[in-house]
Amino acid sequence: MSESAADVVICGGGVLGAALAYELAGRGARPLLIESRAIASGASGKAAGLLSPASDARAAGSLGPLWRASLARHHALVRELETLGSPGYGFAESPSLLVAADAAEARTLREAAPSQWLEPDEVRARCAWIDGPVEGGLLREASAEIEPAAFTGALIHAAETRGARIEHGRVTGLRLTGRSVTGVRLDGDVIRTDTVVLAMGPWTSAAGEWIGSRVPVTPLKGQILRLRLPPAAAETRFSDTDGNYMARKADGLVYVGTTEERVGFDEAPTVAARRRILRQAGRFVSAVSGAEIEEQTACLRPLSPDGLPILGPAPGLSGAFIATGHGRAGLLLAPGSAAALAAHIAGESPTIDLTPFDPARFG
């Protein structure tokens, strides 16, 4: 058995792990990020990369401050990562529409944000794709988009520029002295450290055995279709109140999704999901029925029991931290989550209150 050392070991090479490596390195640490497969090989590389303001319900709840901080951090990172020589990742501000399918949805949306309300003809003027029945919608000017895998890669590049290291391997456990972390077990070797962050998406649940407390996160499978559709006169991306969306990305393909499936760790695309996505999109856009399907992808997002992220110290264990449970919003919330948790680890005061996301809330 050989040993090496790191200031902080981050387990997981998704967007959250990459953002943590970047933020910790910026605070003077020399983090080591370990990924068992490939960087951004899961949801962090397969998501649509659509960034939207929080709904009124989310903005008013515990998630609101983190959501706002994350959107602000996304905007700040554009210049920061460019300055550090990271490749571009397609960040662009792009308005989006939240459409109402019936009168009840229209009343709710109009009451929530009357200044953003558009009548049906205004919705279609913004998005000529839509030829099905709609009762209007909200125009969300503060939306943006990125290319997820490229964004994760840009964070990794910047983190390495700041002194972080990346290794590929399988973490099998922690080395503890009493109830304090003294190392991470990696493929039979030990990396000496007194700080570890468990950021392995839905697979973080397996780390419960390492830390002696439950990490109640489960996989939420999501599938996306990438279609070839002729350009329309106006193509503002849109979503419905159930979270389904259509958006043309920089590669020219139209991303249509998504599903929310609780099927364990099955990552295979399915015919049933393809049909469901086309049926949902077809309510608004008839052209999807004849579109060429370029690609169908599936990924697993980490979902907590209460739908909130799990961010903070592992209960009763010194030096171990958990970062997971962001559900469908992982790509959007990663920058704010990483900045806040990195500040906490470094002994600084986080810019947002992490109390609602404390892992100890599950007992």
**What CATH number does the domain containing 82 carry?**
3.50.50.60
Average pLDDT of the segment spanning 226-235: 94
Does the structure show a pLDDT above 90 at 70?
yes
User: Is residue 91 in some structural domain?
Assistant: no
Does the structure show a pLDDT above 60 at 339?
yes
Beta bridge partners of 173: 185
pLDDT for 30-51, tens place per residue? 999 999 999 999 999 999 999 9
Average pLDDT of the segment spanning 240-260: 95
The CATH number assigned to the domain holding 293 equals: 3.30.9.10
Percent share of the chain, pLDDT over 90: 93
Domain count, the chain: 2
Residues 226 and 213 grouped into a single domain: no
Residues 174 and 293 grouped into a single domain: no
Q: Final residue of a domain: which of 255, 279, 303?
A: 303
Residues 325 and 269 grouped into a single domain: no
Residues 202 and 257 grouped into a single domain: no
Does the structure show a pLDDT above 90 at 309?
yes
Average pLDDT of the segment spanning 75-103: 96
Give residue 1's pLDDT.
52
Give residue 306's pLDDT.
96
Give residue 188's pLDDT.
83
Residues 350 and 237 grouped into a single domain: no
As a whole number of angstroms, the distance between CA 209 and CA 191 comes to: 19
Cα separation values, 98 from 102, 117, 237, Å: 13, 10, 9
Cα separation values, 79 from 60, 154, 266, Å: 29, 12, 38
Does the structure show a pLDDT above 60 at 134?
yes
**Tokens representing residue 124 in the block:** 């279609």
Does the structure show a pLDDT above 90 at 300?
yes
Average pLDDT of the segment spanning 315-326: 97
Does the structure show a pLDDT above 80 at 346?
yes
Residues 73 and 10 grouped into a single domain: yes
Residues 160 and 282 grouped into a single domain: no
As a whole number of angstroms, the distance between CA 208 and CA 219 comes to: 15
User: Is residue 320 in some structural domain?
Assistant: yes
Give residue 351's pLDDT.
86
Residues 245 and 199 grouped into a single domain: no
Query: Which residue's entry shows tokens 């450290």?
Result: 193
Q: Final residue of a domain: which of 258, 281, 303?
A: 303
* pTM for the predicted model, two decimal places: 0.95
Give residue 54's pLDDT.
82
pLDDT for 280-298, tens place per residue? 999 999 999 999 999 999 9
Show the domain range for 337: 3-86+147-217+305-362
For the chain, give the secondary structure using H, E and C. Answer: CCEEECCEEEECCCHHHHHHHHHHHHCCCCEEEEECCCCCCCHHHHCCCEECCCCHHHHHCCCHHHHHHHHHHHHHHHHHHHHCCCCCCCCEECCEEEECCCHHHHHHHHHHCHHHEECHHHHHHHECCCCCCCCCEEEECCCEECCHHHHHHHHHHHHHHCCCEEEECCEEEEEEECCEEEEEEECCEEEECCCEEECCHHHHHHHHHHHCCCCCCEEEEEEEEEEECCCCCCECEEEECCCCEEEECCCCCEEEECCCECCCCCCCCCHHHHHHHHHHHHCCCHHHHHCEEEEEEEEEEEECCCCCCEEEECCCCECEEEEECEHHHHHHHHHHHHHHHHHHHCCCCCCCCCHHHCHHHHC
Does the structure show a pLDDT above 60 at 216?
yes
User: Is residue 8 in some structural domain?
Assistant: yes
Residues 152 and 213 grouped into a single domain: yes
Query: Which residue's entry shows tokens 């229209």?
Result: 106
Contact between residue 285 and residue 129 where contact means Cβ atoms under 8 Å apart: yes
User: Is residue 293 in some structural domain?
Assistant: yes
Does the structure show a pLDDT above 70 at 2?
no
Residues 178 and 292 grouped into a single domain: no
Average pLDDT of the segment spanning 179-195: 95
CA diameter of the chain: 69
User: Is residue 326 in some structural domain?
Assistant: yes
Give residue 61's pLDDT.
85
Give residue 55's pLDDT.
73
Give residue 318's pLDDT.
97
Q: Final residue of a domain: which of 255, 285, 303?
A: 303
Does the structure show a pLDDT above 70 at 59?
no
Contact between residue 200 and residue 207 where contact means Cβ atoms under 8 Å apart: yes
Does the structure show a pLDDT above 70 at 322?
yes
Reported as a pLDDT band with limits 50, 70 and 90, residue 60 is low
Residues 8 and 82 grouped into a single domain: yes
Question: Pick from 311, 347, 308, 345: which is nearest to 328 by CA?
Answer: 308
Give residue 56's pLDDT.
65
55/278: higher pLDDT: 278
User: Is residue 296 in some structural domain?
Assistant: yes
Average pLDDT of the segment spanning 166-176: 96
Contact between residue 33 and residue 342 where contact means Cβ atoms under 8 Å apart: no
Residues 30 and 170 grouped into a single domain: yes
Calculate helix-pair angle for 15-26, 330-345, nearest 10 degrees: 30
Q: Please state which of the ranges 41-55, 274-288, 293-307, 327-341 shows the lowest mean pLDDT.
A: 41-55
Does the structure show a pLDDT above 90 at 258?
yes
User: Is residue 180 in some structural domain?
Assistant: yes
- Neighbour order of strands in the sheet with 50-51: 50-51, 144-145, 92-93
